[in-house]
Amino acid sequence: MHRNFVLCTVFTIAGSLAACSRGNGPEPATPRPERAAVSQDTAGAGGRGAGAPRPYARVITPEARTRVGLFKTHLVGDRLYCEIPKSELNKDMIVMSRPITATGGFGGGPGAGNRVVAWERDGHRIVLRGRSFEISADTAAAIYSAVAAQRTGPIIARFNIEAWGPDSASVIEVTRLFTTNVPEFAAVNTPTADRSFVESAVAFPDVVNVVYTQTGTQTPQASAAGRGPGGSGSQQRAQATTVRVHWSMLKLPEDPMRPRLHDRRIGLNSVTTIDYSRPEHRAEERRYVRRYRLEKRDPNAEISEPVKPIVFWIDPATPEWLVPWVKKGIEAWRPAYEGAGFRNAIEGRVAPANDPDFSMFDARYSVIYWRPSTTQNATGGQVVDPRTGEILKAEVNMYHNVMNLLRNWYFTQVGPLDPRARNLPLPDSLMGRLVEYVVTHEVGHAIGFPHNMKASAMYPADSIRSVEFLRRMGSHVATLMDYSRFNYVAQPEDNIPLDLLIPVVGPYDRFAIMWQNKPIPGARTPDDERPVLDQWARMQDSIPWLRFETSDATADPHALTEAVGDNDAVKSSTLGMRNLRRVSEMLIEATVRPGNDYSLLNELYGNMVSQWGRYNNHVAAIIGGAETFERYGTGPRFEPLAEERQREAMRYLAQNAFQVPDFIVREDILRRIEQEGITTRVRNAQAGVLNSLLSTQRLNRLVEYEVLADEGGTYTLAEMLADLRRAVWTELTAANVRVDVFRRNLQRAYLEAVDRQLNPPEADEDGPAQTSQQQPRYPSDVRPALRGELLEIDRLAAAALNRTNDAMTRLHLRDVRMEIEKILDR
């Protein structure tokens, strides 16, 4: 589900904060006085230069609404003051800004996100400065002072000390952080102070939360032609936009969590620092896994309740009927944490809807947002302590229309296996289970897991048709973090129970949670843990379903998205195609209703064609592919696939990708959804496979693999191109040559793909001059091999012209010959 997880840009009120009040309790809202513009003077918010602080009572007047916490906050009219004690100066704090609501099509301001800062004293001023942890050193090392000097970031703002509080606390006015164009906190590109204001500030022992509103302008993008209504590129008029933002400043732990070193064999997200104090003769990159701080309540127990469990707060905006499914999706990870020694380590709770001091955006809370959006997706991620990788706040975004995506996947992949999917809409009980599956996947990202696309190839294709095997392993894939949706390899005659069609937390997930979190007795430093962690990681040598994808592998046919059973993609795709044929027979009955249009039929038919393309591309990945296995000093990491497997893949493509299945071209469906378009649909799907097979990287890999292979032990570039020619240009050797419209389009797509390889776009005349350091234009045998193929096709086409009585075929072959001549002469 998640692709490169970024936080969503569709905003909803998922929590709110009341205005500050005297003391620690909320105060009833009072009419807000008219707001005056706030000066942007760089020395202070009041418009005066640096001067002697005033008496406390003249700054923090009796009408101040005060909250006490990490430091006191005071709202005096429109002005926000912070009272920063000496004890909190030079302490690392992380700031998280999250939009709550927005108007004017706002998509994310420059100040959104997270950054580490510290408050520093500079005479009669307080400086807010950014902090960086990209480099580090042991505090006892001689180089530490130099490293520390480089870790200080830019000055974000500088404030006059307006008054002195108790214990020499510095009272500063920070209003302009939230109402003017301070780039690090601006929610819009051009905020205006007279239409921006602080709404509330709430302080707690370790966090300060501020809600503010910013108004500014943004200019709509020009039309596609780049011209205004006058036809001469006139400027679009700027539009106002208002954004309501939650700003949360959390103090990083005084006692940092002991980090755990990252290992590429285990799929966990990490933080990185360059350590200049290591004994190696270089600056050493140190990576620490991202994880929650879990400590046993009973350190001597094998399995113990944690001192502080992981809590995910469920958005009150979540549809009521889905709340139990969301909670189940969160808590599905509990058994995995038990394997690490923690009972009831993770739980889901519904966030309070009417607590004025609670906000989903608070930096202390991990949350499941429910986004009212037509986006068909969900995402998950986390904010961490950059020093250690400790997860401070995890966030999952569930976009409402992910349910539409789930319906399409389920119907297209396993509809023939589940009677509940044969009539749409799906029942709530099934949709709830599908939402639970997505929540569990995204929570996996939130607790530190990246994707592991290799897991779908760790079980034999035949085994995932076995009820006994699926019961033993949990589902058809070893992890929920693969894009291995539903078990399309299973067939109706296999009688797979419906609960086994959907992935669950699997053996890889339990293994990785154990590796990430299990305490290692006696270890006092990250390096002390290394021998045990390495021993755990080597379990992968004998248990394939514990393996993670290889980080620098780009051509592993066992690490594919949207795949099931890609241990043998030819067999699995063949079985998937059988189910896809059954889906085509279900389409009209499942979607057509008197009084309804054919939009659902059109959508699901399009999904069926796309699924056909996916199956073909899973097989195409075998050609020029190499199986990979991440190892640390115990053997080779890359192994090109056997020649026969690659030849088998090409035979599959010749029959299933380059010949159009009859169930794709069904008149009873097509005449309901479109007056034209089937030839374009098919051409695009086939062109995608061709472009993949004829990609520069794949062709060059075939050349390189031949270099290291024993004689006759590899599928060579020449052999692959010859087999591809026979698959695409089959008709040219027939006794009576006739090429239908689909095959004509396929052959044109082939010529276009070869043309792109032989005649890549020239560099711009104004671009940099060619240097000896730049890559040569034709670095391998690919060019002569492709030119040779074109010459052979031209010879076959010339001969075929004498063996055809079909007028369109004759025109096509003449066009093919002319196009080949153009390609070779360029």
- Position 2 pLDDT exceeds 90: no
Closest CA to 442 of 353, 355, 315: 315
The residue to which tokens 């500014």 are assigned? 216
Closest CA to 610 of 697, 492, 485: 485
Closest CA to 313 of 207, 399, 394, 408: 394
Count Cβ atoms below 10 Å from residue 201 Cβ, excluding itself.
27
Closest CA to 386 of 523, 183, 250: 250
Query: What is the rounded CA–CA span in Å between residue 659 and residue 158?
Result: 69
Q: Is the model more confident about 800 or about 194?
A: 800
Query: What is the rounded CA–CA span in Å between residue 263 and residue 256?
Result: 21
User: What does the pLDDT average to over 271-288?
Assistant: 93
The residue to which tokens 């390609």 are assigned? 823
Q: Is the model more confident about 602 or about 767?
A: 602
Structure confidence by residue, pLDDT tens digits, 623-640? 999 999 999 999 999 999
pLDDT (0 to 100) of residue 52: 86
pLDDT (0 to 100) of residue 495: 97
Radius of gyration of the chain (CA): 31
pLDDT (0 to 100) of residue 502: 98
The pLDDT mean for the chain works out to: 89
- Position 584 pLDDT exceeds 70: yes
Do 673 and 601 form a contact (C-beta atoms < 8 A)? yes
The b/e string for 742-753 (b: 16+ C-beta within 10 A; e otherwise) is bbbbbbbbbbeb
Element (H, E) at 528: helix 526-537
Helices 643-656, 569-591: axis angle to 10 degrees equals 20
* CA max distance for the chain: 104
DSSP state for residue 385 in the 8-state scheme: -
Q: Quick one: three-class SS letters along 743-788? A: HHHHHHHHHHHHHHHHCCCCCCCCCCCCCCCCCCCCCCCHHHHHHH
Structure confidence by residue, pLDDT tens digits, 485-494? 999 999 999 9
Which residues are bridge partners to 163 per DSSP? 171
Structure confidence by residue, pLDDT tens digits, 225-250? 444 444 444 556 667 889 999 999 99
User: What does the pLDDT average to over 589-596?
Assistant: 95
Kindly report whether the peptide bond that precedes residue 386 is cis, defined as omega within 30 degrees of 0: no
DSSP state for residue 226 in the 8-state scheme: S
- Position 12 pLDDT exceeds 80: no
Helix (H, G, I), strand (E, B) or coil at 559: coil
Structure confidence by residue, pLDDT tens digits, 646-697? 999 999 999 999 999 999 999 999 999 999 999 999 999 999 999 999 999 9
pLDDT (0 to 100) of residue 449: 98
Q: Which two tokens stand for residue 379?
A: 């995402």
**583 pLDDT tier (thresholds 50, 70, 90):** very high
Query: What is the rounded CA–CA span in Å between residue 734 and residue 2?
Result: 48
Closest CA to 651 of 706, 732, 720: 720
In the chain, domain spans: 56-220+238-251, 603-760+779-825
Concatenating the DSSP letter of every residue in 795-809 gives HHHHHHGGG---HHH
Do 442 and 473 form a contact (C-beta atoms < 8 A)? no
- 771 Cβ contact list (under 8 Å, min separation 6): none
Do 566 and 560 form a contact (C-beta atoms < 8 A)? yes
Do 436 and 332 form a contact (C-beta atoms < 8 A)? yes
Q: Is the model more confident about 43 or about 615?
A: 615
Closest CA to 561 of 447, 396, 450, 440: 450
Closest CA to 243 of 326, 166, 185: 185
